[in-house]
């Protein structure tokens, strides 16, 4: 608004001066006035020039007087340029500082993020340490309780020890009196020892003679398996008879090996009606049969070996890797024989379980399976260092039929605290 007003003032002022100059020039021209001795025409030109100068001067004067910007433009342009250059330089410097500050801010942000991650990591470690401290505190409380119990037990043992010391003194006095009597008994014992050795020699001679008279040299005990095998059922009797005859020949070779006659087979005698009855039973059976040739009685070396046939229905009792039995026991590593005894007890339970399942046991030993020595001692070594509960699991290593033998895989697991065997 201020600029519009200024322009209007300048227009009016310029118009007024132009009007006055024109009027003045017209009057000078009409009256043919002369300035400085010049011709009227030249005087009119001078008046017009002066009028234009006055218009310009008045315009500049009014603008200079009224507007600071005009005064600056007319008289302070160089200073303004220098100021602009300095301002521009300061602006560039400020921009550079701003860029540097922005970069520093980004670096500070990255450092802040890294610090935040480190803080979170430290907080996680602190939480783990606090949990570990809680566990240690609980363990310390349990140790204190155990310590108190041990102290009480120690007091009880100290009291018992004092009592035993008194009894020991009494026993020492009794021992002194017994030493005197022991000397007398020693002389009597020496005489009896000589007589005992004489009687033992006579007893051994009598026992050897009695065994020789009653038993002779027993090669097979009654019921002992001489040979065994599986014969397929539901076949012609001729085929079954051939397989049964082959099994009898195997039994004869086993007898020869046992009695020491390895060059030729020693025949085994089987009651013919029993043999033929077994052939018919197997031929008409819808499933395979386990056949055992066992000693009919105690067989003495030199006598004819008499055999009996035992028939059992055959089937797959255990599939490969099938679970058989699991038992839990309490063991102590300080007891050297505990690991072996524990494994023997477990194998006995497995034997009973497999027998109840249908696996045929050995008539003499009552066992149904075999375990290699290396496997036995490997399991013992796993049990030996355990203090507390241990869980033993048995699995069939391979498919096992009623004839067997059952081969085992034994798994040893430490029982968790708080579990009951």
Helix (H, G, I), strand (E, B) or coil at 259: helix
Are 285 and 396 a contacting pair, CB within 8 Å? no
17 and 56 fall within a common domain: yes
> CA-to-CA distance for 55 and 11, rounded, in angstroms?
10
pLDDT at 212: 43
Cβ neighbours for 86, distance < 8 A, ≥ 6 positions apart: none
Q: Name the domain boundary from 26, 55, 75.
A: 75
279 and 301 fall within a common domain: yes
pLDDT at 313: 84
pLDDT at 84: 83
Q: Name the domain boundary from 314, 331, 355.
A: 314
Residue 210 lies in a domain: no
Helix (H, G, I), strand (E, B) or coil at 254: helix
- Which CB contacts under 8 angstroms, 24+ apart, belong to 119-123? none
Residue 84 lies in a domain: no
Residue with tokens 């056949």: 291
Residue from 329, 263, 251, 257 nearest 295 by CA: 251
Q: Name the domain boundary from 27, 55, 75.
A: 75
Look at the chain and count its residues. Answer: 421
Are 358 and 317 a contacting pair, CB within 8 Å? yes
> CA-to-CA distance for 401 and 407, rounded, in angstroms?
11
> CA-to-CA distance for 306 and 229, rounded, in angstroms?
18
321 and 339 fall within a common domain: yes
397 and 340 fall within a common domain: yes
How many independent structural domains does the chain possess?
Answer: 3
pLDDT at 10: 65
For 294, list phi and psi in degrees, rounded to 5: -115, 160
> CA-to-CA distance for 310 and 247, rounded, in angstroms?
13
279 and 347 fall within a common domain: no
Residue 142 lies in a domain: no
pLDDT at 214: 46
Residue from 359, 365, 354 nearest 224 by CA: 365
pLDDT at 40: 67
226 and 302 fall within a common domain: yes
Beta-carbon neighbour count of residue 318 at 10 Å?
23
Domain assignment of residue 47, given as a range: 2-75
pLDDT at 19: 74
Residue 98 lies in a domain: no
328 and 347 fall within a common domain: yes
pLDDT at 213: 40
Residue 385 lies in a domain: yes
309 and 230 fall within a common domain: yes
336 and 299 fall within a common domain: no
376 and 388 fall within a common domain: yes
233 and 296 fall within a common domain: yes
Residues of the chain with pLDDT under 50: 208-215, 262-264, 421
Are 88 and 96 a contacting pair, CB within 8 Å? no
Residue 131 lies in a domain: no
**Is the previous residue joined to 405 through a cis bond, with omega within 30 degrees of 0?**
yes
pTM: 0.44
Cβ neighbours for 319, distance < 8 A, ≥ 6 positions apart: 396, 399
Residue 306 lies in a domain: yes
325 and 247 fall within a common domain: no
> CA-to-CA distance for 286 and 238, rounded, in angstroms?
17
Are 291 and 245 a contacting pair, CB within 8 Å? no
Residue 357 lies in a domain: yes
């Amino acid at each position: 608004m201020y600029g519009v007003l200024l322009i209007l003032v300048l227009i009016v002022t310029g118009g007024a001066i132009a009007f006055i100059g024109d009027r003045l020039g017209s009057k000078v021209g009409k009256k043919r006035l002369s300035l400085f001795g010049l011709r009227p025409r030249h005087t009119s030109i001078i008046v017009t020039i002066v009028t234009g100068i006055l218009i310009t001067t008045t315009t500049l004067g009014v603008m200079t007087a009224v507007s600071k910007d005009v005064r600056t433009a007319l008289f302070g342009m160089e200073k303004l340029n220098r100021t602009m250059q300095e301002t521009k330089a300061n602006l560039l410097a400020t921009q550079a500082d701003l860029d540097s500050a922005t970069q520093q801010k980004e670096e500070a942000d990255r450092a802040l993020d890294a610090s935040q991650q480190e803080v979170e990591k430290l907080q996680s470690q602190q939480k783990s340490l606090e949990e570990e401290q809680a566990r240690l505190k609980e363990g310390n409380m349990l140790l204190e309780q155990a310590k108190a119990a041990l102290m009480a037990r120690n007091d009880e043992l100290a009291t018992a020890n004092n009592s035993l010391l008194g009894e020991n003194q009494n026993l020492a006095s009794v021992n002194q009196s017994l030493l005197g009597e022991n000397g007398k008994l020693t002389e009597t014992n020496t005489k009896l020892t000589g007589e005992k050795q004489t009687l033992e020699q006579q007893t051994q001679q009598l026992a050897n003679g009695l065994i020789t008279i009653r038993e002779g040299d027993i090669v097979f005990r009654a019921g002992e398996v001489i040979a065994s095998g599986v014969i397929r059922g539901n076949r012609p009797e001729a085929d079954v008879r051939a397989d049964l005859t082959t099994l009898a020949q195997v039994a004869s070779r086993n007898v020869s090996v046992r009695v020491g006659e390895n060059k030729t087979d020693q025949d085994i005698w089987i009651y013919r009606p029993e043999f033929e009855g077994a052939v018919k039973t197997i031929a008409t059976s819808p499933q395979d049969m386990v056949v055992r040739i066992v000693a009919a009685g105690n067989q003495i070396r030199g006598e004819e070996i008499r055999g009996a046939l035992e028939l059992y229905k055959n089937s797959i009792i255990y599939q490969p890797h099938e679970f058989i039995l699991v038992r839990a026991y309490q063991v102590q590593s300080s007891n050297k024989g505990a690991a072996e005894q524990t494994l023997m007890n477990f194998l006995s339970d497995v034997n009973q379980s497999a027998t109840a399942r249908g696996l045929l046991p050995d008539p003499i030993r009552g066992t149904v399976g075999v375990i290699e020595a290396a496997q036995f001692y490997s399991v013992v070594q796993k049990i030996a260092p355990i203090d507390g509960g241990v869980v033993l699991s048995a699995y069939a290593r391979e498919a096992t039929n009623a004839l067997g033998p059952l081969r085992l895989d034994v798994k040893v697991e430490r029982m968790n605290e708080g579990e009951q065997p």
